[in-house]
Amino acid sequence: MITARDAGLVGCRRCARAWPAETPVCPTCGSALQSRDMGAMQRVWAWWVAGVMCFFPANLYPMLETRTLFVSQSDTIVGGAIELMHHGAYGIALVIFVASIVIPLGKFIAIAYLALRVRGDKPPAGHGAHKLYHLVEYIGRWSMIDVFVVAILASLVHLGSVASVQPGPASLAFALSVIFTMLSAQSFDSRLIWDRTDVQKGQAA
């Protein structure tokens, strides 16, 4: 396998056309051509840090504030999942737990792993790294399911003083966390994975 860089070419990331290496701007679509984005890793880490920072309040603050006639209840994500589990709704508790805790955490770990792997001297996972990257990018949008549920509930359950549901401060933090994670994943220049592979190959050769 040969990379475009190895071939003296540079591929446009927008229209996917390959141009000679020194071509500054893609004649087809007009976007800037860059063989490797050297600042990408900084952005990845920056978004990643922001995402992680938002993840803490997202789990510490209540996600949902439910007020019925006399009782006002506010639940965090984990607390809600545990409560659902206490009520016997294991399935829903599992869905919430996976969608809100496992997946975001997995994304953080995956991105961090990829970023470290690209930079470090350890041998890459090769094709597996690419698959991991695509998985992270694909699954990222589904993490918003929590926020989606909260938004629907808050707009549906609005019975004045009898019962009302309002999003807690965690919902905003959670949404930000998901957005930052997605941006982090997008900022990742997946071509760097190849470079490491090359280095590995070269060293092997």
Partner 1 sequence: MTQTPPNVRVEPARRSLWERASVVWLVPLMALLIALGVAWQTWSDRGPLITITFDEAQGVHARETELRYRDVTVGVVEDVGFSSDLQSVAVDIRLNKDIAPFVDDDAAFWVVSPQVTAQGVSGLDTVLSGVFIEGVWDRVPEGLIPAHRGLTDPPLLRPGQQGRVLTLRSLPGASLTEGTPVLYKGIAVGRVGKTELAPGETAAQSQIVIFSPYDQQLTTATRFWDTSGFSFSIGAGGVELDFSSIASLIAGGVAFETLASGGVPVRDNALFDVFGSESLARESLFSDNSRPGVNLTVIFEDNVSGLSIGSPVELGGVQIGEVISVSGILDPLRFRDQRVRLMVNIEIRPGQLGMGDLSASTDVMDFLDARVAEGLRARLATTSILTGGLKIELVTTDESDSALLDFSGDPFPILPSTDSDIADAAATAQGVLNRVNNLPVEELLQSAIRFLDGAAALTNDPELTAVPGEVRALLGDVRGVVGSEAVQALPAQLSALMLELQGATTDLRAVAADLQAAQAVDRLLAAVDATSAAATAVTDSVTGVPELIASLNTVAQSAADLPLTALVDQATSVVSAADGLLRAPGTQALPDQLGAALQDLQGVLADLRGVTTDLNDTQAVERLLAAVDAASVAATAVTDSVTGVPELIASLNGVAQSAADLPLTALVEQATGVVDAAEQLLRNSGTQELPGQLASALDEVRQVLADLRAGGTVDSLNATLGSARDAAAAIETAAQSLPDISARLNRVLSQATETLEGFEAGSELNRSARGALSEIERAARAVESLAKALERRPNSIILGR
Binding residues (CB under 8 A) for partner 1: these are 8, 38-39, 42-43, 46-47, 49-50, 53-54, 57, 69-71, 176, 180, 183, 187
**CB of residue 35 to partner 1, shortest distance in Å:** 9
Distance of CA 1 to the CA centre of its chain: 29
CA 98/CA 121 separation, integer angstroms: 33
Closer Cβ to partner 1, 66 or 96, answer by number: 66
Which residue's CB is nearer to partner 1, number 73 or number 200? 73
Residue number with CB closer to partner 1 (97 or 140)? 140
Q: Name which of 36 and 141 has its Cβ closer to partner 1.
A: 36
Q: Which residues fall within 8 angstroms of residue 12, CB to CB, at 6 or more apart?
A: 18, 19, 26, 28, 29, 31, 33
Nearest residue (CB) to partner 1, 39 versus 126: 39
- 110 vs 183, which CB is nearer to partner 1? 183
Q: Smallest distance from the beta carbon of 152 to partner 1, in angstroms?
A: 27
Nearest distance from C-beta of residue 73 to partner 1, angstroms = 11
The answer to whether the beta carbons of residues 183 and 54 sit under 8 Å apart is no
Cα–Cα dist 173/179, whole Å: 10
Report, in Å, the least distance between residue 132 CB and partner 1: 22
The residue behind tokens 């994670």 is: 181
Instruction: Convert 53-80 to b/e letters by CB count within 10 Å (16 or more is b).
Output: ebbeebbebbbbbbbeeeeeebbbbeeb
Separation between Cα atoms, residue 205 and residue 201, nearest integer Å: 6
DSSP state of 72: E
The two three-digit tokens of residue 160, written as one number: 């004045």
Nearest distance, CB of residue 144 and partner 1, angstroms: 18
CB of 127 to partner 1, least distance (A): 26
